[in-house]
A and B are shown apart, each in its own frame.
Chain A
Amino acid sequence: AQSVTQLDSHVSVSEGTPVLLRCNYSSSYSPSLFWYVQHPNKGLQLLLKYTSAATLVKGINGFEAEFKKSETSFHLTKPSAHMSDAAEYFCVVSYTGGFKTIFGAGTRLFVKA
């Protein structure tokens, strides 16, 4: 069965320090993997996506993620957190042309001044 697990429900970092948001998936197929960000009272904005090209994917706002098939992971990183990064982040797995989409439970990122 397909599933997505975001390993941390909350992550707190200080401004200027690295960010790591962890995501593991299980799949019998080669999925498409995405990270979305949701700021308060807003929709989900696409940060980056992996669709079987390069395993290191660069996204917007300095975020990147590395697809590791052996570990079935797709962790999101950023070298230096900014206050504006405080939001909720969703790891998403999609199969069969987007008709089967599984959302992680979300990780809320707090950034301390």
Chain B
Amino acid sequence: DVKVTQSSRYLVKRTGEKVFLECVQDMDHENMFWYRQDPGLGLRLIYFSYDVKMKEKGDIPEGYSVSREKKERFSLILESASTNQTSMYLCASSQTLGLENTIYFGEGSWLTVV
């Protein structure tokens, strides 16, 4: 079975703290993604990566950075957390192989910044 694991499900952080959200996939997928999901705004792409050490900005990269040192792991970093980054964060992965491009999601990480 496909598995995308987000290690932290619920976090509470203080304004200005550095926050790491970790994501691991066990499917040897090339592509990994970070989204945030907010009521009324839907899912918005923050960053994605199509290979180790490669990253591309999504629609809302401001205030975030990412790291992909290993193929299976994609980390989202909030350098200095702010209250407007309180949200549900979803990690996802996919394989590009012919017509196969299904995106698989993790369970989500709820981040509250106080």
| Interface set of A (CB-CB < 8 Å, partner B) | 32, 34, 36, 41-46, 49, 51-52, 90, 92, 94, 97-99, 101, 103-106
Do residues B42 and A105 form an inter-chain contact, with CB atoms below 8 A? yes
Do residues B105 and A41 form an inter-chain contact, with CB atoms below 8 A? no
Do residues B102 and A43 form an inter-chain contact, with CB atoms below 8 A? no
- Whether B64 is near chain A, meaning CB under 8 Å from some CB there, is no
Cα–Cα distance between A101 and B106 once the two chains are bound (Å): 17
Do residues B100 and A51 form an inter-chain contact, with CB atoms below 8 A? yes
Additional A-B contacts beyond A42-B108, A43-B107 (5; CB < 8 A): A34-B103, A42-B107, A45-B105, A46-B104, A105-B42
Do residues B100 and A103 form an inter-chain contact, with CB atoms below 8 A? no
Chain B contact surface mostly: strand
Measured between beta carbons, the chain B residues less than 8 angstroms from A51 are 99-101
| Chain A residue at smallest Cβ distance from B33 | A101
Cα–Cα distance between A104 and B105 once the two chains are bound (Å): 16
Task: Report the contact-size class of chain B (Cβ under 8 Å from the partner).
Answer: 20 to 34
| Chain A residue at smallest Cβ distance from B40 | A105
The list of the 10 closest CB pairs from A to B, nearest first, reads A98-B101, A97-B96, A43-B105, A44-B105, A98-B94, A51-B99, A43-B107, A103-B43, A43-B108, A97-B101
Cα–Cα distance between A45 and B105 once the two chains are bound (Å): 7
CB proximity to A under 8 Å, residues B59-114: 90, 92, 94, 96, 99-108, 110
Measured between beta carbons, the chain A residues less than 8 angstroms from B102 are 32, 34, 46, 49, 98
| Chain B residue at smallest Cβ distance from A46 | B102
Measured between beta carbons, the chain B residues less than 8 angstroms from A34 are 102-103
Show 10 residue pairs from A and B whose CB-CB distance is below 8 angstroms, ordered by the A residue: A32-B99, A34-B102, A42-B108, A44-B105, A90-B43, A98-B96, A98-B103, A103-B43, A104-B42, A105-B42
Partner of B42, one of A41, A99, A103: A103
